[in-house]
Amino acid sequence: MKPLEEIIEEYQNLRDVFKNLVSSDENYKSALLEIEHRFVDLRAELRPWKSKMLKASEKRSDKNATAIKYRISFAMHKGEYEFAEGETPMYDKPPAMSSAEKFAAASRQYKEFLEQKTFYKESFVNVSDLREDIKEYINLIKDKLKY
């Protein structure tokens, strides 16, 4: 699987080539066909990335966030929660379960999980949008080839 950064860079370069070609007055039918094929290839290369981001996003659902928060709060309640380096306890003795849930929401593990959840959801949306943008360029090229 091609790195996502390379795909994005190739997409941006291909857009620039397309814009320059369209702004020139030369006969560019064969060049447009080549660019169209390259856009189609890029779109195909993004398919596994879209699936990967969707799966990663689904692993970090609201249900999983609640489960992680509960496990952290249960460990705090039992006094078995291990604080990460730099993380200080907000209590002297193990808290009651209702208080532990509040403390769990402020824990480093839970915050990291939420950051990952946001990252993968945004990544999925961005990859989907990029595939749609490429599709629009393919359609634009087809329209230009008709004339």
Placement of tokens 């020139």 in the chain: 24
Please tell me the predicted confidence (pLDDT) of residue 88: 78
Instruction: Identify the CA nearest to 74 among candidates 48, 43, 96.
Output: 96
Mean pLDDT of 43-61: 95
Please tell me the predicted confidence (pLDDT) of residue 3: 93
Instruction: Identify the CA nearest to 49 among candidates 139, 134, 140, 113.
Output: 134
DSSP state of 107: S
Please tell me the predicted confidence (pLDDT) of residue 92: 79
Predicted structure pTM score: 0.82
Token couple for 42? 């890029």
Please tell me the predicted confidence (pLDDT) of residue 25: 67
Q: Domain locations in the chain? A: 4-146
Q: In the predicted model, what is the mean pLDDT of the chain? A: 91
Please tell me the predicted confidence (pLDDT) of residue 27: 66
pLDDT digits (tens, 9 = 90+) for 6-24: 999 999 999 999 999 888 8
Q: At residue 101, does pLDDT exceed 90?
A: no
**3-class DSSP state for residue 90?**
coil
pLDDT digits (tens, 9 = 90+) for 83-95: 877 777 777 788 8
Q: At residue 26, does pLDDT exceed 80?
A: no
